[in-house]
Every structure is written in C-alpha cells, then in structure tokens.
Amino acid sequence: MWIVYLGLINLFLLIISLIFFMPKDFIKTNIKFSVIKNSLNKQLLFLIIIFIIVALQLIEVKFIDPGVTKWVGHDYANNIRGIEGNTVFWFSQHWTPAILYFFVIIYIGVYPFTLWFIPLYFLVCDQKKAMKSLAYGLLIIYLVALPFYLFIPVTNVYTFYNVHSALETVFPSVDTFFYSTTTTNNCLPSLHTAMTILIAYCISLTGNKKLKIFGYFVMTTVIISVIYLSIHWLTDVITGMIVALGAIFILQRYIKDK
C-alpha cells in the first residue's frame, strides 16, 4: 500500500507544481519537441553526471559498502553518542502522531519528489546554469561524502538505539524500499541535508520566486525531519550543511552564466 500512497503524494505534488511553479507562458512556448530537444542537447552532459552519481551510489550500497564496513569493524555512532548524548534519541520518545505523520511525508514523499521534479523543471524550462550547478554540486558533495560512508560508518539513530522506525509507523514495510538505495550506516554527512540545501540554492538561480519559497520550505522541513524522526545525529546534519555550503561556495566561484 505504501507504493500507492507515495504515488498519490507525487501525483498531487506534480499537479500543484504544474499549476503554481511553471512559468505563465510555459504551455505556449516550452511544450514543443524542438524546444525540449534543444534544452536537452545543452544539458545532456549535466544529466549524464547526475545519472552516473546515482549509479555509483547504488553500486556503493549494494556491492562495496558491506565488505568495507566489515573490514573497518567499528561503528562510529558510539563516538558520536559520546559527544551528543541522547539528544536526538529523545525525540523518538516524544513523538506526536500529527507531527510524526507530517515529517514522515516530508522525508519519504516530498523530498524524493524534488529529486526528480527539480531536474525536470530545469530541463523543460531551459535553466542551464541551475542544472549545471546541480550536477557539479552533487558531484562535489558525493566525492566528499563517499570516503566517510566507506571508512567512517555511522549507524542511524533509531537503528543504533533499536527503536521502531518512524517511517515504518506511517508506511509499513517502506524501510525495505528505502534501504535499497542507501544503508543504515551511511549517515555522516547527512546527504538529505546537503542535497536539500544544494537544491534550494539551484532553484534560487532560476528567478522563480514561488519555486524558491517551496525549495526553502523543503530544505527547512527535511533538515528538521531527519532530527525529529531520529534518523540522523546532529553531527551528521552539521557536516551535511558544511559540505553543501562548501560546494555552493565552489559553484559560485567557478560556475558562470556563460
């Protein structure tokens, strides 16, 4: 049933996005094969970079991470707990149903929606600089994060404390799907945090005020959700912010309009 629910969430968000976020003259000027083809030709390299990174992530999760984690033989979540204590774990003991459902939907529904809709928006609206920034920003973030994921495994909070998953509470069995694209110990830095900051920045390059507000809303709620749902440690979130801001600094310095 969770597939149906997530499908409905994405469909609803797509309809809302088409109504409120697309340019007023989009239907007249952009929904033409020649326009989309021209935009695709200009942005093909950036799309290839994004697809390669996604493929590398899946390869790392499925084939590389298990062996390297066994070789490292240490869970650095113990070290992080020694610094943070039970700060994030506290939230799992004080969940409020309405708030819990809201943040689970943000985490498992709204965030994944932005991952496919925003690049699609950049493509069909011919936002080359935004797409270029997204591709190279994602590349920087992943290259920085990968050594941490491989050699500094950090188990997520609810798994470490052996408490019930907030995601499973709302969408039973969704963890099986979710952890087909990641692992329980790829937490430091928080990719959710880094990605939402990067996406919000890239959206700001388009000049679309409504979409920009949506981007910052998603960024804020996703960062709060990973803490409230007891998924990421505070250290994960802070390092995710640092990596994202570092990537944005590089992009602003080297990615030009032409």
Q: What is the per-residue pLDDT across 79-89, written as a single tens digit (0 to 9) for each?
A: 999 999 999 99
**Stretch 38-62: mean pLDDT, rounded?**
91
Determine the length of the chain: 258
**Stretch 243-256: mean pLDDT, rounded?**
92
* Cis geometry, peptide bond prior to residue 189 (ω within 30 degrees of 0): yes
pTM of the model: 0.93
Is residue 154 helix, strand or coil?
strand
Which of 27-41, 47-61, 160-174 shows the lowest mean pLDDT across its residues? Answer: 27-41
Amino acid (1-letter code) at residue 38: N
Residue 94 has pLDDT above 80, yes or no: yes
Q: What average pLDDT does the structure give for the chain? A: 90
Cβ atoms < 10 Å from Cβ of 82? 8
pLDDT, residue 33, reads 66
| Percentage of residues in the chain having pLDDT higher than 90 | 70
Rounded CA-CA distance 68/56 in Å is 15
Task: Tell me how far CA of residue 246 lies from CA of 115, 141, 239, in angstroms.
Answer: 20, 9, 10
Sign of CA dihedral 58, 151, 112, 165: positive
pLDDT, residue 138, reads 97
**Which of 1-9's residues contact partners 24+ apart within 8 Å by CB, and which partners?**
1/171, 1/172, 2/171, 2/172, 2/173, 2/174, 2/177, 3/177, 5/109, 5/171, 6/108, 6/109, 6/112, 6/171, 6/174, 9/105, 9/109, 9/110, 9/113
Residue 252 has pLDDT above 90, yes or no: yes
102: Cβ contacts below 8 Å, ≥ 6 apart: none
- Six-digit token string for 234: 């505070």
173-223 residue pLDDT tens: 777 777 777 788 899 999 999 999 999 999 999 999 999 999 999 999 999
pLDDT classification of 22: cutoffs 50, 70, 90 = confident
